[in-house]
């Protein structure tokens, strides 16, 4: 089976379907540290990453930002001393698209998770 991080992202246009319950059930075990949070009725994927200091957290933030630019899909990033919180969701469809799960897996890979 191909891992999430290796799947190609597809263009997500307004009106694209959100990830189905079945897709989400298949994706979440591949990114176990992520959780789904609802904000203003919109499901989002979120994970907090820990670092030894601010410089390491900032370097990771830049790596995630460059990943986002390559894929034309941008998360919310919160950088603080010793931590970065990454939140992925698809703004155009106001919910979770398979791209969000793919990019969560790629974010984990940047951090060093398998």
pLDDT at 97 over 70: yes
Q: Is the pTM of this model over 0.85?
A: yes
Res. 1 pLDDT band, cuts 50 70 90: very low
pLDDT at site 105:
97
Helix axes 54-71, 98-111, angle to 10 degrees: 140
Q: Which domains does the chain have, with CATH numbers?
A: 19-111 (3.30.1360.20)
Q: What is the mean pLDDT of residues 75-102?
A: 96
């Amino acid at each position: 089976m191909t891992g999430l991080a290796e799947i190609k992202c597809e263009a997500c246009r307004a009106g694209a379907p959100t990830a189905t319950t079945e897709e989400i059930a298949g994706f979440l075990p591949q990114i176990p540290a992520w959780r789904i949070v609802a904000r203003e009725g919109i499901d989002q994927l979120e994970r907090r990453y820990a670092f030894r200091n601010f410089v390491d957290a900032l370097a990771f933030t830049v790596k995630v930002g460059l990943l986002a630019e390559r894929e034309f899909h941008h998360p919310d990033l919160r950088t603080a001393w010793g931590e970065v919180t990454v939140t992925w969701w698809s703004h155009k469809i106001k919910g979770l698209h398979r791209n969000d799960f793919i990019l969560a897996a790629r974010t984990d890979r940047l951090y060093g998770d398998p």
